[in-house]
Structure 1
Amino acid sequence: MTKISDPAPVRYITTAIPFVNAAPHLGFALEVIQADTLARFYRQRGDDVRFLAGTDENSIKNVRAAEAAGDCVADFVARNATRFQALPESLNLSYDDFIRTSVDPRHQPGVTKLWQTCCEQGDIYKRSYKGLYCVGCEQFYKPDELEGGRCPEHDAPLEEIEEENWFFRLSNYTGRLRDLYRQGKIRVVPHARQNEISALIERGLEDFSISRSAERAQGWGIPVPGDPGQVIYVWFDALANYITALGYGTDETLLSHYWAGTSARDHVIGKGITRFHAVYWPAILLSAGLPLPTRILVHGYLTTEGRKISKSLGNAIDPTAYAERFGADALRYFLLRHIRTTEDGDISLVRFEAAYKSELAGHLGNLVHRTLSMIERSCGSTLCEPSKGLTEHDTLIRQAIGLQEIVTAHLNAYAFDRALDAIWKLVAEANKYVADQQPWAHAKAVAAAQTADERQDSATRLNDSLYSVAWTLRIIATALTPFMPSVCAQLLQKLGLEEGDDGQRPGLAGATIAAGAPLFPTDPVDS
């Protein structure tokens, strides 16, 4: 009787959608690279994954930036959105979908439906409001949330705004949200961020404004249904992208599969927008009768010289410049290993160059090149079957066998840096193994052998030592693929293997192995 296998787990992974008031910066690159690594890892396991990114375009912040540039809003937004859409090529990303909120035909109908559904629940009402507003954050602040009267995110003065807006009854959902977090129905990672959210809920939630006057927005945005004098608040609009991109309000086939039909709805966001994703968004979904996100990964900020990298602060770093100089995979490696996933981390060209030369070119690149070069020179580019029992008893192979399980545990916990630490620990063990085994000495012994038995014995030692390292490189390539996909595809090709190989079967004997060019040029500037 044929056994029916279980269906593959379904996962939906999203990034926040950034404002397009300027070009992409390195801080956002960190986020999309983290999300892409997760998407690639789960696909590698055979999961059914959909990975979404996009751009947040219906904001007053974008209107102000277009004014400052002397450009019409639509052209300004489109030009910057194009630069975000180009990131998959420059950063080696694997989006399944990309949504632009000002022009995508799926978005406005979905946002309008979400508004109307919440309205039918009695959760939307209109009243006058006066408060301190940060255009950079696109949110109102209370005086006790400010630092010296300035925005804590942008270190800028706030505008005093008084107007009539539509409000969402967030206060209606205080108890339900408290219970959801207590029951673990939604998880915020790290736990410290979840504690912050729980504390916020415990203090009691206040209703929040979900529209802006069309006059202040200069007519840019999605009109409030039945009230053309108002446009829908950018955060209500932007958060909806996670479901409008799946056809909410249009064709809901994907929605039923990747939102309603999955138990893994993961958002990857920066710490400055945790409240919107962990409080406002679940409340809106509850009002609309839709499933909630399951996990929210909150990463820290990238800093340079101790200051947050930000378009608004004027110290943004173009990620494509780093990728063009060192390669996209080298940039991915640095951001994933040297920046702790949920903490702030400082980046500089000096640190980046040091990691490239020492860890990539020096540790991994040198191991690959000298091992494969020895196989070319001393084994005619082809390894033979190893001695019986080598793959079960060799000290290096035994260490390599457990690598994937360790990497999987760390990635399930979003610990990108620890997963890479484990991979580089094996790289170090492989380098030590080469130094201890000295395959070059075996090659010399083959050439100097006086008898056939001596020659065979030395040839076997040579083949086994190089086979062990090559087999370990295969394991490393498989575990490293979600982090550095292009480099690992090159490494598997050098080993004469196909991309996507599972890394567990020996299968190296008879493959044509070629060292070729180094994986990491020692002088990437001139490469």
Structure 2
Amino acid sequence: MATANKKSSKKAKKTKKASPVRGSKKKAAAKSRAAKKGGRVTKKVKKAVKAKSGAKKSATKKAAKKTVKKAAKKTTKKAAAKATKAPPKKAAAAAVAPAANKPVPPKPPAAEKAPKAATVRAPKQPKPAAAPAPASVSAPAADRGNAFYITTAIAYPNGQPHIGHAYEAIATDALARFQRLDGKDVFFLTGTDEHGQKMIQTAQGEGMTPFDLATRNAARFKEMDERLNVSFDRFIRTSEPAHHKSVQEIWRRMQDNGDIYIDAYAGWYSVRDEAYYAEDETVVGEDNVRRGPQGTPVEWVEEKSYFFKLSAYQDKLLHLYESQPDFIGPDSRRNEVMSFVRGGLKDLSISRTTFDWGVKVPEDPEHVMYVWVDALTNYITGVGYPDESDERWRYWPADVHIIGKDIIRFHAVYWPAFLMSAGIPLQKRVYAHGFLFSRGEKMSKSVGNVVDPFNLANQYGVDQVRYFFLREVPFGQDGNYNHEAIVARINADLANDFGNLAQRSLSMIAKQLGGVLPEPGEFSDNDKAMLAQADAMLEASRIAMATQQIHQWLNTVWAVVAEANRYFAGEAPWALAKTDPARQKTVLYVTAEVVRQIAIMAQAVMPESCAKMLDSLGVPADARSFAAIAERIRPGTVLPAPVGVFPRYVEPKTE
């Protein structure tokens, strides 16, 4: 993805001095130059746009200079008062009048009156600010206590949820559950991003309003989360009135900081990506369709727009990345973002006038905000913003935003810049996962390999699906999946290794020891080594999960599963029943203790199955957190009859 850009002030001045070009040739030449920069319309393009709308007079150089001078003066109250008395001039492109009788589906919340009127600035490229001192990167965060705040990217509900959505939700849920088990006060936010042109187009195609489409599909995304046992604390919808209020407040703060101004935009825009692209980022295919770097069609857009001074934050962002190397993960994404920012940032178009489904710009309702200003703000809306006295505000700043790698720039460049401008503490970390491929192919409706997560859960089981994707795919990298791979993980890792170990040991206790957990004798070196490896799981898992290395955490746990199977097979407790009953009790006790620790550790990925496993071990509900791991399982505990937790997957019979 790329930013929507504006030319430097130096180049803008040169453009003003250039000789005028008449007619269509003038428009084509100016349009080409603007396209190459992917952003701001020059004075020539502005005149061409006016000519297209019916204005036939072209301003002279002298009139152009007066226009800029007048726009600059309007930033003061005195000049504004004079401008009120003076007759309006056609060449002065400044405030945009509200649209009359324009439909708004549905009615958004009324815009709160800003502390002062929106300032209209001359279309001049600002000078980049110098790199700040570390303390000035953002406002200081309040004392958060034991709070831990984690988010998914909010899904775009112009269609039904697919396995890519499910993967992100499952992974984020595992991270959230892990921190809860480790005693953290967790707040987990997910939801839907409901505004934008894609929603309008899809709704029109289905003969419904964008709000009705969003409501229908948001319910399906929430249902998916519930089906996959995703333990979110809030499911946010960006069409909520509270969110509109939040977005308008952050806009006012950025505007009060002098970072928003109005101008005109011309460039390539992808409706599907909700992103602006420079000319050199697009390619015209054999079908004569121009596409952006994500392979999605782009269209030429020319309209008045508010801009955010992203260029002023280049040095500040680079300072952030260098002073906080863990701000972006994994390293490949950090390198990508730093390279992008070092290449130069240009100002970002942050409003649209060609549609009205979105959050209105304060004091200028003809404009709706660029959907990414709206969408990104959900992360603070979700914890009470703009009411910083809300008890949920203690969770901000977020500990980590979990997102897909295709939207890393929005979260690691735009979002921290917006927060810096608004004086709000920055999130602590952004982590981007990879894409899922079905047998090496990217999911596509045209290919017919889009997978319904509901069907997967019904076919294989919820915990089995959760385990497969988090164990099979290194989190942060692209991954492949297919039926054979899922079945292999279910039958080998779960049924054979973990499930069989628990079932064999617990069945032996039930049949040979009356269902009572035995008192162990003196531990042998093998016993001590086995227990030591189990005891080391927690700290190793904490280290892995602190940087979202979910696959490494599960590798650590399953290494203990493998070692426990070797221990059990080597000690052969079935044979000890006759030759050394006391030793058998010790081996079965050690095995039960290791199974208990594994089940506690794996709860974050397989909550229902591990709960059943802990039930079979007689572990009380209040002794299943990580804090309880240090206390050994109690001898003498009467165990219920063991029940298999992880059945093998058997292919359905075909008739």
The answer as to 2:312 corresponding to 1:178 is no
Deviates more, 1:384-393 or 1:32-41: 384-393
Q: State the partner residue of 1:479.
A: 601
Matched, 1:288 2:422: yes
Shift of 1:525: 7.2
Structure 1 residues 330 and 518: alpha-carbon distance in aligned structure 2, compared to 1, 3 A threshold: same
Distance apart, 1:89 and its partner CA: 2.0
Q: Deviations over 1:422-473 (max 9, x none)?
A: 111111111112211111112244xxxxxxxxxxxx2212211111111100
Task: Give matches, 1:117-266, under 5 Å.
Answer: 117-148=253-284, 149-153=290-294, 155-184=295-324, 187-213=327-353, 216-217=354-355, 219-250=356-387, 252-254=389-391, 256-259=393-396, 265-266=399-400
CA distance 1:75–1:182, shift in 2 (3 Å):
same
Q: Partner of 1:448 in structure 2?
A: none
Gaps of 5+ in 2: 1-142, 285-289
Q: 2:238 aligns with which of 66, 86, 101?
A: 101
Change (3 A) 1:515 1:140: farther
1:305 Cα deviation (Å)? Answer: 3.0
Q: Match for residue 487 of structure 2?
A: 353
Superimposed CA distance per residue, residues 226-251 of structure 1 (whole angstroms, 9 cap, x where no aligned partner): 22221111100000000111121246
Alpha-carbon distance, 1:488 to partner: 1.2
Alignment of 1:374-523 (within 5 A): 374-389=508-523, 393-445=527-579, 458-499=580-621, 500-501=624-625, 502-514=628-640, 516-523=642-649
**CA 1:14–1:255 in structure 2 vs 1: closer, same or farther (change >3 Å)?**
same
Q: Provide the rounded CA distance (Å) in 2 between the counterparts of 1:488 and 1:506.
A: 18
Contact 1:197–1:275, Cα closer than 8 Å, also in 2 = yes
| Structure 1 residues 186 and 386: alpha-carbon distance in aligned structure 2, compared to 1, 3 A threshold | closer
- 1:87 Cα shift? 2.8
* Number of residue pairs aligned between Structure 1 and Structure 2: 501
Give the superposition deviation at 1:273. 0.3
Does the 8 Å CA contact 1:334/1:352 hold for their aligned counterparts?
A: yes
Q: Separation in 1 of the partners of 2:578 and 2:235?
A: 57
Q: Is 1:304 the equivalent of 2:426?
A: no
Task: For residues 387-422 of structure 1, give each alpha carbon's deviation from its aligned partner in whole angstroms, at most 9, with x where no partner exists.
Answer: 134699533222212111111111112111111111
Q: 1:38 aligns with which of 175, 198, 214?
A: 175
Residues 7 and 22 of structure 1, relative CA distance in 2, 3 Å threshold: closer
Give 1:8 deviation, angstroms. Answer: 4.9
Following superposition, the deviation at residue 281 of structure 1 comes to: 0.4
Quick check: 1:19 aligned with 2:153? no
Instruction: Say whether the 8 Å CA contact 2:576–2:584 is kept in structure 1.
Output: yes
Contact 1:326 1:525 in 2 (8 A): no
Aligned counterparts of 1:311 and 1:409: Cα–Cα separation in 2:
39
Conservation of the 8 A alpha-carbon contact between 2:158 and 2:217: yes
Shift, 1:308, TM fit: 2.5
Once the two structures are TM-superposed, the CA of residue 34 in structure 1 deviates from its matched residue by 1.6
Task: Report if the CA contact (8 A) 2:351-2:367 is conserved.
Answer: yes
1:275-309 alpha-carbon deviations (Å, 9 max, x no partner): 00000000100110000011111100111132333
Give 1:3's aligned residue. none
Instruction: Decide which moves more: 508-517 or 405-414.
Output: 508-517
Q: Which amino acid aligns with 1:485?
A: P
Give the Cα–Cα distance (whole angstroms) in 1 for the partners of residues 558 and 649 of structure 2.
22
AA at the equivalent of 1:159? E
Which structure has the larger Rg?
2
Farther-moved stretch of structure 1 (243-252 vs 15-24): 243-252
Query: Residues 157 and 7 of structure 1: is their aligned pair in 2 closer, same or farther, counting only changes over 3 Å?
Result: closer
Q: Compute the TM-score of the two structures, normalised by the length of structure 2.
A: 0.73
Change (3 A) 1:443 1:393: closer
Query: Greater CA deviation, 386-395 or 175-184?
Result: 386-395
The answer (yes or no) to whether the contact 1:394–1:468 under 8 Å persists in 2 is no
C-alpha RMSD over aligned residues: 2.1
1:455 paired residue number: none
Q: Partner amino acid for 2:496?
A: G
SS at match of 1:161: strand
CA distance in 2, matches of 1:210, 1:315: 35
Does the 8 Å CA contact 1:63/1:220 hold for their aligned counterparts? yes
Is the 8 Å Cα contact of residues 106 and 250 (structure 1) preserved in structure 2? no
Kindly state the Cα deviation for residue 180 of structure 1 after the two structures are TM-superposed.
Answer: 1.1
Per-residue deviation, 1:49: 1.5
Native 8 Å contact 1:90 1:324 kept in 2? no
Aligned in 2, Cα 1:419/1:397: closer, same or farther, shift over 3 Å? same
Q: Return the offset for 1:325.
A: 2.1
What TM-score, normalized by structure 1, do the two folds share? 0.90
- Indicate yes or no: 2:113 matched with 1:113: no
Asked if 2 retains the 8 angstrom alpha-carbon contact of 1:165 and 1:210, the reply is yes
- Aligned 8 A contact 2:527 2:587 in 1: no
Q: Note closer, same or farther for the CA distance 1:255–1:384 as it changes in structure 2 (3 Å cut).
A: closer
**Could you give the per-residue CA deviations for residues 99-118 of structure 1, whole angstroms, max 9, x where no partner exists?**
0011x232011011111111
| One-letter amino acid matched to 2:264 | S
Contact 1:185-1:294 within 8 A present in 2 as well:
no
2:204 is aligned with 1:78: no
Moved more, 245-254 or 47-56: 245-254
The AA in structure 2 aligned to 1:336 is: L
The correspondence of residues 324-335 of structure 1 with structure 2, limited to 5 A, is 324-335=458-469
TM-aligned CA deviation for residue 310 of structure 1: 5.5
Percent identity between matched residues is 41
Q: Distance in 2 between matches of 1:371 and 1:186?
A: 43
Alignment check: 8 A CA contact 2:162 2:450 kept: yes
CA separation in 2, counterparts of 1:252 and 1:490? Answer: 41
Question: 2:66 corresponds to which residue?
Answer: none
State how 1:1-16 maps to structure 2 within 5 Å.
8-16=145-153
Deviation of the 1:62 alpha carbon: 1.5
Specify the SS of the correspondent of 2:265.
strand
Q: 1:157 to 1:88 in 2, by over 3 A?
A: closer
Q: Distance in 1 between matches of 2:367 and 2:618?
A: 62
2:226 paired with 1:89: yes
Alpha-carbon spacing, 1:364–1:515, altered in 2? closer, same or farther (3 Å):
farther
**1:211 to partner: Cα distance:** 1.0
Call closer, same or farther: CA 1:35–1:147 in 2, change over 3 Å.
farther
User: Any conservation in 2 of the 1:487–1:519 contact (CA below 8 Å)?
Assistant: yes
Q: Distance in 1 between matches of 2:150 and 2:448?
A: 30
User: In the aligned structure 2, how far is the partner of 1:162 from the partner of 1:88?
Assistant: 39
Tell me, in whole angstroms, the C-alpha distance in 2 between the residues paired with 1:185 and 1:123.
26
Judged with a 3 Å threshold, the aligned counterparts in structure 2 of structure 1 residues 185 and 444 are, in CA distance, closer, same or farther, namely closer
